[in-house]
Structure 1
Amino acid sequence: MSDLGPLSFYLGIEVHQDDSGITLRQTTYDKRVIELGGLTDCNPTLTPMEERLKLSHDSMAEEVDATQYRRLVGSLRYLAHMRLDLAFFVSNVSRFMQRPMTEHKQAIKRIVHYIEGTLDYGLHYSRCPGVAHFIGYSDSNHAGDIDTSKSTRGMLFFLGNCLVSWQSVK
């Protein structure tokens, strides 16, 4: 066994450690997802999805290549483990992997455009001096899915200022 020094890279996650705390990012993987989507040097957007966009299984749009769609969604799902800002939107487009349509592919492209503008986003765990408070938040939309009338709920838990757990469930 040998000491290789402080952790700097693990399973595609870049680890930056300093006196303020630990920062986890996936900048290199972000760039690979953008290349996979064929959107290198695209214009960034401020939001990962259009406001009030409702995607449906009953779309009459043209079908797209399901293999490419699934590859992009799978890459985004791995990325969403570190990027809480993407979790809900990636979950939303994951529902259409069986028969993806043009509007579903457009939603994925919008997410990739958002990633282009947020390459430096990640999780920062600061050193919490003293007593840290445990705080939780939750929210839901009632019958928000237009296909099934099911609700989506989400939860966040913080220990001090550090996000330690989150979940979004349909």
Structure 2
Amino acid sequence: MCSTPMTSACKLSREEGELLENASEYRSIVGSLLYLCHTRPDLSLSVGKVAEFMHAPRVTHFAAVKRILRYLASTVNYGLLFSPSDNKALVSAFADADWGANLDDRRSVSGYGVFIGKCLVAWSSKKQ
């Protein structure tokens, strides 16, 4: 079981590792994970990262997908919960950026999350 969908030190590259013999399984799993990101924003960054390699997935990319699946297995009860009994309607926002961390194109990744009380209401993760 994993406590995070991807390690912070995970640097995937399109040239590292050998190509998968059967890429259709990789594409099918990543496609399903992309759909799941609509209700599980905690997966957005890691799934977006492995989705970059759909055209030519490698063994290292598939290992990252397997880690995401192990994380999902340990967090099956996670999800968005909106409770009407919350009297505190405090709005808070958080942002983060990773400048030039992509090994292939040196582009930046930034993201934010906006909460009303304890509920996440808006989020974004972008590669620039």
* Aligned partner (choices 76, 97, 103) of residue 33 of structure 2: 76
Structure 1 126/110 Cα, relative in aligned 2: closer, same or farther at 3 Å? same
Listed as ranges, the gaps of 5+ residues in structure 2 are none
Q: 1:15 aligns to what?
A: none
Amino acid at match of 1:104: H
Q: 1:133 aligns to what?
A: 90
Q: Are 1:48 and 2:2 matched, yes or no?
A: no
What secondary structure sits across from 2:33 in the alignment? helix
* Aligned partner (choices 114, 119, 124) of residue 71 of structure 2: 114
CA contact (8 A) 1:64 1:102 kept: no
What secondary structure sits across from 1:73 in the alignment? helix
Amino acid at match of 1:167: S
Structure 1 51/64 Cα, relative in aligned 2: closer, same or farther at 3 Å? farther
When you count strand as a share of all residues, which structure comes out higher? 1
Q: 2:16 aligns to what?
A: 59
Greater Rg by CA: 1
CA contact (8 A) 1:153 1:169 kept: yes
Q: Distance in 1 between matches of 2:105 and 2:51?
A: 15
Q: Distance in 1 between matches of 2:119 and 2:113?
A: 11
Deviates more, 1:155-164 or 1:102-111: 155-164
TM-score w.r.t. length of structure 2: 0.91
Q: Distance in 2 between matches of 1:45 and 1:134?
A: 30
Q: 1:100 aligns to what?
A: 57
TM-score w.r.t. length of structure 1: 0.69
Q: How many residues align structurally?
A: 126
Listed as ranges, the gaps of 5+ residues in structure 1 are 1-43
Structure 1 103/60 Cα, relative in aligned 2: closer, same or farther at 3 Å? closer
Q: Are 1:148 and 2:125 matched, yes or no?
A: no
What secondary structure sits across from 1:167 in the alignment? strand
RMSD in angstroms over aligned alpha carbons?
1.4
Q: Distance in 1 between matches of 2:60 and 2:107?
A: 21
After superposition, give the CA deviation of every residue in 1:101-137 in whole Å (9 maximum; x if it has no partner).
Answer: 011011101110111111111111122326x232221
Paired-residue identity, %: 38
Q: Distance in 2 between matches of 1:49 and 1:106?
A: 10
4+ residue segments displaced more than 4 Å? none
Q: Distance in 1 between matches of 2:42 and 2:30?
A: 15
